[in-house]
Structure formats: structure tokens, C-alpha cells
Amino acid sequence: MFKRLLIANRGEIAIRIIRACQELGIETVAVYSDADANALHAQLADQALNIGPADATRSYLNIAAILDAAQIAEADAIHPGYGFLSENADFAEAVTGAGMIFVGPRADTIRKVGNKDAARELMKQAGLPMTVGSDPVNSVAEALSTAQEIGYPVIIKPIAGGGGKSMFVAKNDADIQCAAHKIDFSTGGFYLEKYIADARHIEVQIVADNYGDIIHLGERECSIQRRNQKILEEAPSVAVTPEMRQKVGALAIRAAKSAHYTNVGTVEFLMDKHTGEFYFMEINPRIQVEHAITERTTGIDLVKTQLKIASGEPLHIRQENVRFIGHAIECRINAEDPHNSFLPCPGQITFYHQPGGPNARVDSGVCAGSIVQPHYDSLIAKVIAHGNTRGEAIKVMQRALAEYRITGICTTIGLHMQILKNPYFCSGDIDTQFVAKHMSY
């Protein structure tokens, strides 16, 4: 195991990694921008180094600054967390080129799966089921003709990137024209897919060592979304039977093998609610925001697993030994105003009290007095609830959210409390359009 790790991230994921390192006896180095000088992650690490101004492109996305910090700190390895540089193959390559360990997949793997067009082609060759999709389109006219060929509705997706950003659903030609006001088709950076209206977003957690062994840790249901971005996740999915879990798990492992995957990652699928069929969407080559619910239902610490695999350890668990325990739900607490189109709500937290008690876990990047910056993602914390059944997990989450007190900024706590009371959610009758259908936002 390496001795000193630099964490090229901020907020709750940086703190989550710091905690795992502390339990493994690894020294931690935090990096921070000028805006984050007093941030919690910088205070909790063994060492903290400034990497530049508030602007993320000159700090958290600045490869040279991060590598300089790692060399100053004499770090043995770098963990990218999620977001920022976590899916940047050039960064992974630069880390290993500088003689350090990159905690994540190899650079060539990140390149294979990071380009959505290339990833779809790779998965098609591996025999994974696909929705009808296109090559990159280079003009509005090409987008219109392609959409008519595929058949409406279609979804317009960026070839690079993730997190649900820059995606548009088009039901007709007018929607394509509207999307053209927001994105530039001439760059060739977008492609079209057949849109499955009644779909569930199902993702499978995979773990792969450096010696060819790959397992899956079950699925997560990620259908509760706003603007194609997840806000609540749960494990397992009430719609996935043991037979379906075996099937989609095998598909995820096949996808990982075809990309020569190592470390932890997620293979994402759309599941047609009417047929139960799974369709490959993408591979996320990093730890996910929602990893904690898999940890809670399997008893496997995914961040420690990442670190151990990166240091050269083989997998210590086989597929047949993976056991699933109860049900877990995660609510993402964002500094956003749900009543104002989910606009970010930066500012200073004047009072902060997070829930506790049996079966409730909070991964937070803030405390009383913290300033939620306008420069970065609005996620400030995650609440994870666990129960023997889904019903118990819902009750634990309702109790935990009722205890949560954050003043000084708007948050999504109230939205989550409404979701948890919704009869469609409670029955498990959900899909990716749940918020648009059932919430008054």
C-alpha cells in the first residue's frame, strides 16, 4: 500500500476519501482553490496545498498545478474522486507519467469508454443490447434527417461528458430546432439515440483488479432525476428480480471485460418498463456519487477497495460470495432552490445540524459557517438510509430528513420529503420522468 495520497477533488467526496485513508494508515494531501481556503476537506487532510484561483479551470481542472502539488507533497498516488478530472485520460496518463499511481482505470480504458460514440461501437461488438443510435451529426439538417430516420422521440447526447448535462429530448422537428439554439451541432460533438419514454435508469457497480478478475455488486435504481441528473438513488431496484440481476450483472461484466477495465466503475443501462429489457447507455470510469448505497447493502467499502486495487492487491471476494443485505436509499442534498427551476443557491450556512441514529449515514462536505461556493457543483451532502426492507429504508430516510437543519441557503431537503411521501414512489412505480410527472416543480 502506498504511503501518501493526494486527493484531486473537494467537498464530500474528498472527505470520504480522507476517512478511508485514515483507516488504512495512508497520509492525505488536500488541494484547494482560493475560494476553498477554509473548506472542510482542506482542514481534515494531513496536508493542504493551494492550487489556484476560484475558477475551476485554473485550479481543480489544472493538471499542471495538481501535479506540482503532488510532487511538492511527495505523494505516491492521486485519487481524482468524481467530476473534475476523474474521467480525463490525459490526466491519468500524466499522473502515471510523473511516477505516481492513478487511483482509477488505465488511461487507455478511460479513452475507450469516455467517447460515447466509440463506447457504443465497442459495446455493440461485445454483444450488448443497444437502443437505435446514430453516428455524430454535424449540422441541424443532419440532426433532423437522422431523427426522422430513427423515429421520434429521440434524445440528443454529447459524445463526451456525463452527469446528464447537455442532453435534450426531441419529440419533433421543432424540438431539434430549439436544441440547436443551445448546442452547436457543427462541432460533431453530439449524436442521437432512440428515446425510451417509459424507462428506468439502472446501473451496475463493477469491481475489477489488475489481474483479470471482475465482479459486480448488484444494481442501483437511479430513475429519480431532474434535468436528466440524478437526485435520489436506491439499491436494489424493486423492478429487478434475482434472475434479471444475474442477467444485467453478466452484461456489465462483459462490458467491463471488453474495455479491459480495472478498479471500480459503473455500467449504466436503460430498462424498458414494459418489456424489462436492458439497453446499454455508458460506462462511468470512476467512483459514483451514489456508491454509498452499494456499500451499505453489500458491506464492501468501495473507496478502500479502489485504493487496494490501485496498490496492486487482487480481489479478495468472488462473485458467489457477494451477499445483499436489505435496502438502501440515498438523497442528494443540493444547494438549490427547487421552486426556482433548481437554480444554485450559494451562500453561507448559518446553522447546520445533520441527522444521525441507527441506519442513517451522512456524507457531507460542509458545516456551520461553511460558504457554499457559486463556482462548483451544488452538491453539499448525501443522506443514506438503510432498512431490512424498502419500506423500512423509506421510514429511516423520512426521519433523517426531518432532523436535518440547514439555514442560510436553500436546499433540496423539502423536495426529497415530498418524493418519499408520493404514493407512486412508495409503490415503486417510478421512471426517469417521475419528477416531471408527479412533482410540482
pLDDT of 147-168, one tens digit each? 999 999 999 988 876 555 678 8
Task: Indicate which CATH number applies to the domain containing 279.
Answer: 3.30.470.20
User: Could you say which of 194, 221, 245 is where a domain stops?
Assistant: 194
Please give the helix or strand (H or E) that residue 59 lies within, else none. Answer: none
Check if 4 is active-site: no
pLDDT in tens, 374-428: 999 999 999 999 999 999 999 999 999 999 999 999 999 999 999 999 999 999 9
- Is residue 125 one of the residues assigned to a domain? no
Domain endpoint, select from 103, 123, 147: 103
Residue 170 has pLDDT above 80, yes or no: yes
Render pLDDT for 274-289 as a digit per residue (tens, 0 to 9). Answer: 999 999 999 999 999 9
* Choice among 179-193, 285-299, 353-367 with the minimum mean pLDDT: 179-193
Closest CA to 113 of 283, 263, 256: 283
The total number of structural domains in the chain stands at 3
pLDDT tens digit sequence for 184-243:
898 888 999 988 888 999 999 999 999 999 999 999 999 999 988 999 999 999 999 999
Clarify whether residues 221 and 246 are in a common domain. yes
pLDDT tier at 61 (50, 70, 90 boundaries)? very high
369 with 405, same domain: the answer is yes
**pLDDT at residue number 148:** 92
Note whether residue 108 is domain-resident: no
Q: Write down the pLDDT at residue 163.
A: 57
How much is the pLDDT for 120?
A: 87
Reported in sequence order, the residue ranges of 335-396 that DSSP labels E, i.e. its strands, are 336-337, 343-344, 347-348, 351-353, 360-364, 371-372, 379-387
H helix and E strand count, the chain: 15, 22
**184 plus 221 within the same structural domain:** no
Same domain, 190 and 87: no
Q: Shortest CA distance to 207 belongs to which of 111, 289, 308?
A: 308
Residue type at position 185: F
Nearest Cα neighbor of 244 from 255, 232, 254, 236 is 236
pLDDT of residue 199: 94
- Same structural domain, 148 and 240: no
- Per-residue confidence (pLDDT) for residue 207, from 0 to 100: 98
Q: Which residues have a Cβ under 8 Å from the Cβ of 416 and sit 6 or more positions away?
A: 231, 232, 331, 333, 397, 401
- Quote the pLDDT of residue 165: 67
pLDDT at 250 over 70: yes
Q: pTM (2 decimals)?
A: 0.92
Percent with pLDDT over 70 in the chain? 99
| Mean pLDDT on 25-36 | 98
| Rounded alpha-carbon distances, angstroms, from residue 252 to 123, 245, 265, 278 | 10, 10, 10, 11
Residue with cell 443490447: 129
Average pLDDT of the chain to the nearest whole number: 95
**Side-chain-side CA neighbours of residue 237 (13 Å):** 31
Q: How many residues does the chain have?
A: 441
State the CATH number of the domain containing residue 184.
3.30.1490.20
The DSSP H or E segment spanning 168 is strand 168-170
- Say if residue 337 is in the same domain as residue 381: yes
Task: Calculate mean pLDDT across residues 61-89.
Answer: 98
First vs last Cα of the chain: how many Å apart?
A: 48
Instruction: Identify whether residues 56 and 73 lie together within a single domain.
Output: yes
Question: What's the rounded mean pLDDT across residues 303-316?
Answer: 98
Q: Which pLDDT value is given to residue 2?
A: 95
Residue among 111, 120, 226, 286 flagged as catalytic: 286
Residues 410 and 425 in one domain: yes
Residue 161: per-residue pLDDT:
61
In a domain, 111, yes or no: no
Contact (Cβ atoms closer than 8 angstroms) between residue 265 and residue 204: no
145 lies in the same domain as 263: no
Q: What is the pLDDT of residue 164?
A: 59
Check residue 160 and give its pLDDT: 76
Asked if the peptide bond before residue 158 counts as cis, ω within 30 degrees of 0, the response is no
d(CA 365, CA 380): 6
Does residue 42 or residue 191 have the better pLDDT?
42
Domain that holds residue 166: 132-194
Yes or no: say if 307 and 6 are a contact pair by the CB < 8 Å rule: no
SS3 41: helix
